[in-house]
Structure 1
């Protein structure tokens, strides 16, 4: 009985959790790309 209620809650909030995780992932990937491009430019100038 408890498990069913928990599943119901999870199903209701899953889209929200998914959106949050998605935006966090998107942000991290964007950050990594930015850092890599800056590092690449620095290497090109340094070399």
Structure 2
């Protein structure tokens, strides 16, 4: 395993992974590459 020094935004990563897991569990939909579109729509409600 190769480890690199990288900066990541933990809040963004957690939100993205949570949206993917929820979409699969609740709707049976794979949102890979699309959580950036669905997230703002859910926050508006």
TM range (shorter): 0.3 to 0.5
More helix by share: 1
Indicate the structure whose relative CO is greater, using CA pairs within 8 Å and at least 6 residues apart: 2
TM-score (norm 2): 0.41
TM-score (norm 1): 0.39
